[in-house]
Amino acid sequence: MNGCEFCGKQDSDIWIKIQDNSRLFCSKDHGIKFQSILNSIKFHAGWSTVDMLISKKKSQRWNCKAFRGMAELEFDLDFDSENNIITFEPIFKPEE
């Protein structure tokens, strides 16, 4: 087990699994945050589904790539855990 996608916590009594990408979260709150990120990706890209999401954490910032078929959406994400604020910054928007 890799731990919580947001906080990295390894041990928890409750784990939330997001169906779109099989990621694990140690709380419903963190799971809801990640689901909102997936929804943002779908909105920005005009996608109905996200096939795969790859994210690399760099301090508080995440660099992410979302894929749907051959299409790719890259974005940076800031997660302010103290204030529970997510800043979603698309780097590349797929061509229409």
Q: Does 1 reside within a domain? A: no
Residue written as token pair 């990706």: 41
Contact 34, 17 (CB under 8 A): no
Q: Does 9 reside within a domain? A: no
Provide the domain limits for residue 66.
Answer: 16-90
What 8-state DSSP symbol labels residue 65? E
- Res 68 pLDDT > 80: yes
> For residue 93, is it left (φ>0), alpha (ψ between -120 and 50) or beta?
beta
pTM for the full predicted model: 0.56
**Average pLDDT of the residues in 21-39:** 75
User: Given this model, what pLDDT does residue 89 score?
Assistant: 67
Q: Does 8 reside within a domain? A: no
Contact 86, 79 (CB under 8 A): yes
- Res 49 pLDDT > 80: yes
pLDDT band, residue 28 (cuts 50/70/90): confident
As for how many domains the chain has, the answer is 1
Q: Does 67 reside within a domain? A: yes
- Res 52 pLDDT > 60: yes
